[in-house]
Structure 1
Amino acid sequence: MTREEIEEKVKGFMIEELELEEDDLVAEALLKDDLGIDSLDYVDIVVIVDKIFGFKIKPEEMTDVKTLGQFCDYIESKVG
């Protein structure tokens, strides 16, 4: 899966499932502060990522993931 495909899928589920605006989904966007993703959203994200990308997110691996770009990096490291 290419980086573009990963970003496309991530943006797709964030728009559809979390009802975020496409214009807000830039690599530098902070997940919590800019996008407003809270702990309940993270639960949804874990389920969605498992369904789309086929792996379970480990909370301890997400401690340094602050931006949308870093989140895509994380997914790329798992599926690449």
Structure 2
Amino acid sequence: MDRAEIEERVINLLAEAVVVPREDVEDLRTDLREDLGVDSMDYVELITVLERDLGQQVEREELAYVRTVGDVVDLVERLVSRRDAAAAG
């Protein structure tokens, strides 16, 4: 999965998890808390949606520094790389 595919997937997952229109999360600079009003319960929902979609556990600590849509994309990119490396190894 390349970066563009990950971005598209994250945008759709965020819109689902946070229950906002897709266009509200299309800008990778969008701040989850300040711009979207994401709270701790939304982060729990985001973790659940990511785990379901990726088929792997997302450590809560990994979300500690996630502030923007782009940060979520970076996180998912790392998780996908880790998953693919484990599958190949």
TM-score bracket for the superposition, by shorter chain length: 0.7 to 0.9
Hey, what does 1:23 align to over in structure 2? Answer: 23
Give 1:2's aligned residue.
2
CA RMSD of aligned residues (A): 1.5
The percentage of aligned residue pairs carrying the same residue is 34
Give me the TM-score of the superposition, normalised by structure 1.
Answer: 0.85
Q: Show CA shifts across 1:26-58 (max 9, x none).
A: 110111111111111111111111111122221
Q: What is the aligned residue count? A: 80
Distance, in Å, in 2 between the alignment partners of 1:48 and 1:62 is 13
Aligned twin of 2:85: none
Structure 2, gaps ≥5 residues long: 82-89
**Per-residue CA distance 1:4-37 (angstroms, 9 max, x = gap):** 1111111112223432122221110111111111
Rg larger in 1 or in 2? 2
- Using CA pairs below 8 Å that are at least 6 residues apart, which structure has the higher relative contact order? 1
Looking at secondary structure, tell me which structure has more helix per residue.
2
